[in-house]
Amino acid sequence: MVETHLELGKPMDSQEQRIRRVDWPIVLGSTSLHARPGSPRGGVMSVLSAIDELSCYQDLDVILRRAVELLRDRIGLERVGIFLFQPQDQLLHGSWGTGLSGQTTDEHRIAFALGDNHREAFQRAESDGDRWLLLDDAPRTVQLDGETRILENGWIALTPIISARGQVGLLSSDGALTGAPVDESKQTQAAVFCSLLANLIELKRDEAGQVPERPVFRARHPRAIAQTELVSRAVELMHQKPSLERAQLAARLGTSEGRLGKLFKSEMGFSVGDYRNRLRLETFLRLVERSGGNLLEAALNAGFGSYVQFHRVFRAFLGTTPREYLLGTKHARPQKDRAQPAFKPGA
């Protein structure tokens, strides 16, 4: 093993004397190591991928809505609801959940006191390390016409959302859509997800106290590193002209759409389409922030082909309409959605 000092001729203190630099090429010689990808799909990797995506959003409410969708789409839970604990009133407050048709439902108007089961779930998680509490034959409920109604009895899993600071909230899930039995593997993934989500929520709350209240949308994945010239050039071209479609981008770079898409997703964390749409939204928000002008004009200048396309992308990524978002009324929703059932866990 070859050991070298970082700065020859300079007196070293005791800490520097303990540092040994290893020159691996000399130690290993010409040995060729076989490498293989270390990111198998499914399981905990799905959880990490979901949290990576959530960390890209600045607005906490967007994070909570997307978290509900990712718990269904990536982890495979059927019906879920995320409730945040407010120490001021000692209540669990609703955020987003899943309705009886599998749709995402607005549950911000729901609040309830901690019941014995909720307290037990928190107590077990904090003292015994039990990551969720399974209730058998518990009443599953929905919110219809401003009333809480019992749907049926069945299992309900209560998963505490606890950060390093303490109780943040509670995830409730059940199998009411298909009547499927509880899947402990999925519940384990959900528990890991909730642990990471708790600290992300605390981080976003801290950031909200330091920056203006209006949310900021970030196009760049937090772990994005353009490693090849092809991807670096693709990013540069999209910044220069956000309206470029993937086919046009591939043609300019002299490569195929498939090769570009595979390399881009691997290095940047998002697909070409996702990155382009995020970049357009980021540009739109910056234009509106500066001028406060016409939304259509800002959307077109940001690279969207039409207002319909812009509106669809905006709602998909930020969970609300552009106007509600900019006016600070992001919890509002169209009249036709208000009759959809919302999910409330058993007390």
When comparing pLDDT for 235 and 24, which is higher?
235
For the chain, list the domains and their CATH numbers. Answer: 44-215 (3.30.450.40), 229-327 (1.10.10.60)
Instruction: Give every CB contact of residue 178 below 8 A, 6+ residues apart in sequence.
Output: 78
Mean pLDDT, the chain, integer: 78
Burial (CB < 10 A; 0-12, 13-18, 19+), residue 302, is buried
- Whether the per-residue pLDDT at 3 is higher than 90: the answer is no
**Tens digits of residue pLDDT in 129-182:** 788 899 998 888 876 666 777 888 999 999 999 988 889 999 999 998 899 999
Q: What's the helix, strand, coil split of the chain in %, to 5?
A: 45, 20, 35
**Tens digits of residue pLDDT in 77-106:** 999 999 999 887 889 999 999 888 888 888
Q: Is residue 146 within 8 Å of 69, Cβ to Cβ?
A: no
- Whether the per-residue pLDDT at 208 is higher than 90: the answer is no
One-letter identity of residue 121: A
When comparing pLDDT for 31 and 73, which is higher?
73
